[in-house]
Chains A and B, each alone.
Chain A
Amino acid sequence: MLFLIAYDRTRGKVANMRSFADSQRRVAEDARLEVELDLNRRGVQQEVVLLEASTEVALRLTHRRYFEDFAELARSSASSTRST
């Protein structure tokens, strides 16, 4: 699956996320460009990134930073045993 994420770094939170099927790569890439153009025109500072993972759960394990605040990271750290 493909995940298009707009991340607000200063707030440390995902501002928007959309998912696409693997077969929709071109659509997802076009959507990424459109989001970037829109944010740039409006002067909004957000990091726009397209990521690919088997599931959202897998994505959240390798890119916790986008989804977890410090408290959640701390909890994940204490309980993390999973590796791939």
Chain B
Amino acid sequence: MTIPVSKTQLDLLGDRLRAGATTDSDLRLLDTFRRTFVPPYEHVILTVKNVLAVDVTGRPAKSTTSIIEKLKRESIRLTQIQDIAGCRFVVSDVLAQDKAVAQLVGALTSTTVVDRRDRPSHGYRAVHVVAMIEDKPIEIQIRTTLQHLWAEFSEKSADIFDPSIKYGKGPAEVLSVLTDLSSMLADVEADELESQEAPADPGFDALKRDLRKALGLLIERTAALRKKRVE
């Protein structure tokens, strides 16, 4: 039988995690807390699958590493973290993204939509729907293929160079590549959305293919930069 943990106990745990020197008992308590998100998480996963029939990847619990980083980075309490549990799926374009968001908002009872397309978070563009189930927030990340490629590139760069890259800090040359690329992708997606109201423009598929190739070249350039730094 699991003993209920109070909000105060959890926020004190958050303070200890933020301070460092994690103990076994702290890890066990954090694990207990994270497991309370499983029933609402399962409800959301099932809803996404039933309503949208997409191939969704779920993350029942945020990693300890990411939780500690978030606590250190932001003046936030452990019980205030919105993305302890969640899932992600990728759609073809912005129109499909808008449609998926609308369907989810219609299917889930209490939701907040965080649209990071027009106001990116350090270049990160996507739409997140946060569903409140049994008083637990469950975050659904909906990305287009282009937004997803950018995000993967950004996350890999953060792993390899500096975790703060995701938050607009770190090596200027990498940040500059990421920012420019994010703006470029935003322009293409805005034009694509506009053109979808008119007759379909086959030129956009070609443009997106070229963009992906360009993104590939940029990633190679970043890899070369890393090699140079290591040497």
**A residues neighboring B (CB under 8 Å):** 9-10, 12, 25, 29, 32-33, 36-37, 40-41, 45-54, 58-59, 61-65, 68-71, 73-84
In contact, B89 and A50 (Cβ under 8 angstroms): no
Given contacts A62-B88, A83-B91, contact A40 B57 (CB under 8 A): no
Which parts of B31-66 form the interface with A (CB within 8 Å)?
31, 35, 38, 45, 54-61, 63-66
**B126 on the A face (CB < 8 A):** no
Chain A residues, CB < 8 A from B63: 47-49
Chain B residues, CB < 8 A from A73: 152-153, 156, 216, 219
Given contacts A52-B45, A74-B220, contact A80 B145 (CB under 8 A): yes
10 closest A-B pairs by CB: A70-B223, A78-B216, A52-B58, A74-B219, A62-B57, A74-B216, A84-B55, A77-B216, A83-B92, A47-B65
- Chosen A-B contacts, 22 in total, with CB atoms closer than 8 Å, are A29-B38, A32-B61, A33-B28, A40-B22, A41-B24, A50-B61, A51-B57, A52-B87, A58-B55, A68-B156, A73-B219, A74-B217, A74-B219, A75-B216, A77-B149, A77-B215, A77-B216, A78-B212, A80-B212, A81-B209, A83-B145, A84-B54
Inter-chain contact total with CB atoms closer than 8 Å:
133
Given contacts A33-B31, A70-B219, contact A51 B58 (CB under 8 A): yes
In contact, B57 and A53 (Cβ under 8 angstroms): yes
In contact, B152 and A70 (Cβ under 8 angstroms): no
Using A53-B57, A77-B149, A77-B212 as known contacts, list a sample of 12 further A-B pairs with CB atoms less than 8 Å apart, ordered by residue number in A. Answer: A9-B159, A29-B35, A47-B63, A48-B64, A49-B63, A52-B59, A62-B148, A64-B152, A65-B152, A70-B220, A81-B209, A82-B145
Chain B residues, CB < 8 A from A69: 156, 223
**B79 on the A face (CB < 8 A):** no
In contact, A70 and B226 (Cβ under 8 angstroms): yes
In contact, A71 and B223 (Cβ under 8 angstroms): yes
Query: Which A residue sits closest to B163, measured CB to CB?
Result: A9
Q: Once the chains are docked, how many angstroms separate the CA of A54 from the CA of B153?
A: 24
Shortest CB-to-CB span from A50 to chain B, Å, is 6
In contact, A70 and B156 (Cβ under 8 angstroms): yes
Q: Once the chains are docked, how many angstroms separate the CA of A51 from the CA of B187?
A: 33
**B residues neighboring A (CB under 8 Å):** 22, 24, 27-28, 31, 35, 38, 45, 54-61, 63-66, 87-92, 96, 144-145, 148-149, 152-153, 155-156, 159-160, 163, 209, 212-213, 215-217, 219-220, 222-223, 226
Query: Which B residue sits closest to A29, measured CB to CB?
Result: B35
Chain B residues, CB < 8 A from A83: 90-92, 96, 144-145
Query: Which B residue sits closest to A70, measured CB to CB?
Result: B223
Query: In the complex, which of the residues B61, B89, B216 has the most CB atoms of chain A within 10 Å of its own CB atom?
Result: B216
